[in-house]
Amino acid sequence: MLEETIRVILSVLPFLLDGLWQTFKISLIAIVIGSILGAVLGIARSFRIPGLTGLIGLYLHLFRGSPFLVQLYVFYFVLPELGIPLLQFDSFTAALVALSLYTASYVTEIVNGAILAVPRGQEEAARALGMTKLQAMRYIVLPQALKLTVPPMSGVYVVIIKGTSILSVIGITELTRQGEVAILRTPGSILLIYAVVAALYFLYCYPVLRFTDWAEKRIGGVKVKLEN
Amino acid sequence: MDFIASFYNFRVVADYLPVFAQGLWATIWISAVCLVLSLGFGVLLAGMRMSSNGLLWRPAAAYTQFIRATPLLIQIYLVYYGLPLLFGGVAFLDETMSGVVALTLHTTPYMAEIIRAGIESVNRGQHEAATALGMTRFQKMLLVILPQAFANVIPALLGQTAVLIKDTSLLSIIAVFELMSAGVMLMSERIMPNESFLTVAVCYLLIYAVMLVVSNVAQNRLGGAYRMR
């Protein structure tokens, strides 16, 4: 029994590790693109430009108000229907675009929240010294806000890693998908393979989670609602 | 007009209206059942985590970390394929019940963390006053501490409930019939992605809007320490 278990684990592990590597890559790409986009939108939102603030708010509501699975289906099935060549996504592009925009919706709120958490007097003092609005943001507000974003950002990182598992439904060969393929090969050990998959996710997420908890105690940080 | 009809055909959606209504209802009642169960178990788990007895708080902490560090989809698979094994290979729970079990197992630790924050936010004087009135530990918790704890964290609990409602969409993957499955069904029968998935998206956004209104009312009435957004 034990020998059999070890044999199955050893035979599927190379594929699962390859899946973990894909999960790692996809989550990293999404978090980088999502963070850049989210930072831009979060800063833009804090300037309270009429019209733009409303648009960003609409984007946040749309992406926070619907499940990621629905968003993924919309990007994969609906957008290519529009007939615009740029939106003719293949599954990998659709997955990356959907996950990046989903990430950015969190980052936008975090960055915006961190900027709001910096005392107003800081900006006012900078303006009184003759700085422009942009200079005050660049040299005074952002450096102080940056530290506050660390705990919630690493929390979002965990959410995104876990979110990549949903990409398996449109056939991206990440960890969950590799697990499903491994089950097709050794149908007798469904539970065992999913347990190994869970262990691999745990291996990747747990250090980030511990860092989040540690950073929260150290820095405090902005209260932003996080999704599991 | 032709463009609209080819982009989003209302007649087809009207044909499938009963299917969507059934899915929406399933999403609502599954969420409600999971919410009640996870709140109940959440109080227990919070109590275990706050205990000074290592036999209580260590398993509770390990369970919490496992749930937080693995994807919900994998947890659903583990429950769906694992539960029958526990009962000797007999699948005595259907997909929907497995889904409810998985979602409850998933949501409980998040609720417990919020409830724990709520219990810790209750002023020490309340504990002392209740003790001075001669209440037992159980009375103190049930009558004095927990009501205030819940009132303090209602916005956070509502936020987690919104997450729970969105998470039910993943149950469509193990063939539970809910809102998402209704869209997938239209898709597989008619191959009309716009009508299928945009309708589902709008339904979820409607639920989200209702949750936002409820959350605003709760915040204005209670003025709790935590906020949904």
Q: pLDDT class for B225, splitting at 50, 70, 90?
A: very low
| Residues in chain A within 8 Å Cβ distance of B204 | 65-67, 70
pLDDT at residue B227 is higher than 70:
no
**pLDDT tens track for A82-119:** 878 878 888 999 999 999 999 999 999 999 999 999 99
**pLDDT tens track for A124-148:** 999 999 999 999 999 999 999 998 9
Which residues lie below 8 Å from residue B220, measured CB to CB, with a gap of 6+? none
> What is the domain-level CATH number for residue B160?
1.10.3720.10
What is the 8-class DSSP label of residue B196? I
Cα(A44)–Cα(A142) distance, rounded to whole angstroms? 12
Mean pLDDT across B163-181: 94
Inside any domain, residue B185? yes
Inside any domain, residue B191? yes
Q: Residue B60 to residues B46, B66, B108, B218, B219: CA-CA distances in angstroms? A: 8, 10, 11, 30, 30
**pLDDT tens track for A37-53:** 999 999 999 998 999 99
Inside any domain, residue B45? yes
Mean pLDDT across A156-164: 95
Take residue A205 and report the two structure tokens written for it: 């997420």
One-letter-per-residue 3-state SS of A75-123: HHHHHHHHCCHHHCCCHHHHHHHHHHHHHHHHHHHHHHHHHHHCCHHHH
| Residues in chain A within 8 Å Cβ distance of B187 | 77
Q: pLDDT class for B30, splitting at 50, 70, 90?
A: very high
Cα(B56)–Cα(B75) distance, rounded to whole angstroms? 23
Interface contact flag, A201 B180, Cβ < 8 Å: no
Length of chain A: 228
Take residue A125 and report the two structure tokens written for it: 């003092």
pLDDT of residue B92: 73
Q: Smallest CA–CA separation between B137 and chain A, in Å?
A: 30
Interface contact flag, A227 B66, Cβ < 8 Å: no
Mean pLDDT across B199-218: 93
Inside any domain, residue B229? no
**pLDDT tens track for A183-213:** 998 888 888 999 999 999 999 999 999 999 8
pLDDT of residue A225: 46
Instruction: Please tell me which of the candidates B70, B197, B205 has its beta carbon nearest to residue A65.
Output: B205
Q: pLDDT class for A157, splitting at 50, 70, 90?
A: very high
What is the 8-class DSSP label of residue B153? H
**pLDDT tens track for B89-125:** 666 778 899 999 999 999 999 999 999 999 999 998 9
Does the CB of A217 have a partner CB in chain B at under 8 Å? no
CB B180 within 8 A of CB B200: yes
pLDDT at residue B228 is higher than 60:
no
Interface contact flag, A209 B69, Cβ < 8 Å: yes
Q: pLDDT class for B38, splitting at 50, 70, 90?
A: very high
Amino acid at the residue B199: T
Mutate to test the interface with A, among B30, B38, B74 (most CBs of A within 10 A): B74
Q: Which helix (H) or strand (E) holds B46?
A: helix B17-50
Does the CB of A162 have a partner CB in chain B at under 8 Å? yes
Which residues lie below 8 Å from residue A167, measured CB to CB, with a gap of 6+? A26, A72, A95, A99, A174, A176, A177
Q: pLDDT class for A58, splitting at 50, 70, 90?
A: very high
| Residues in chain B within 8 Å Cβ distance of A206 | 65, 69
Cα(A169)–Cα(B69) distance, rounded to whole angstroms? 20
Query: Cα Rg for chain B, rounded, in angstroms?
Result: 21
**pLDDT tens track for A59-78:** 999 999 999 999 999 999 99
Q: pLDDT class for A228, splitting at 50, 70, 90?
A: very low
Inside any domain, residue B92? yes
The domain of B138 spans 2-222
pLDDT: which is higher, B215 or B228: B215
Geometric angle at alpha carbon A13, from A9 and A15, rounded to 5°: 135
Q: Smallest CA–CA separation between A65 and chain B, in Å?
A: 5
| Residues in chain A within 8 Å Cβ distance of B74 | 165, 176, 179, 194, 197-198, 201
* Domains of chain A in sequence order: 2-219 (1.10.3720.10)
Nearest residue of B to residue A67, measured between CA atoms: B166
pLDDT of residue B89: 64
Nearest residue to A12 via CA among A187, A129, A217, A157:
A187
Cα(B84)–Cα(B88) distance, rounded to whole angstroms? 6
Take residue A39 and report the two structure tokens written for it: 């930072």
pTM, rounded to two decimals: 0.91
Q: Smallest CA–CA separation between B142 and chain A, in Å?
A: 28
Does the CB of A117 have a partner CB in chain B at under 8 Å? no
Interface contact flag, B169 A69, Cβ < 8 Å: yes
Inside any domain, residue B73? yes
Mean pLDDT across A21-36: 96
Query: Cα Rg for chain A, rounded, in angstroms?
Result: 21
Domain count across chain B = 1
Mean pLDDT across B152-165: 92
Mutate to test the interface with A, among B64, B70, B167 (most CBs of A within 10 A): B70
The b-or-e profile of A156-174 (16+ CB within 10 A means b, else e) is bbbbbbbbbbbbbbbebbb
Mean pLDDT across A217-221: 76
CB A159 within 8 A of CB A228: yes
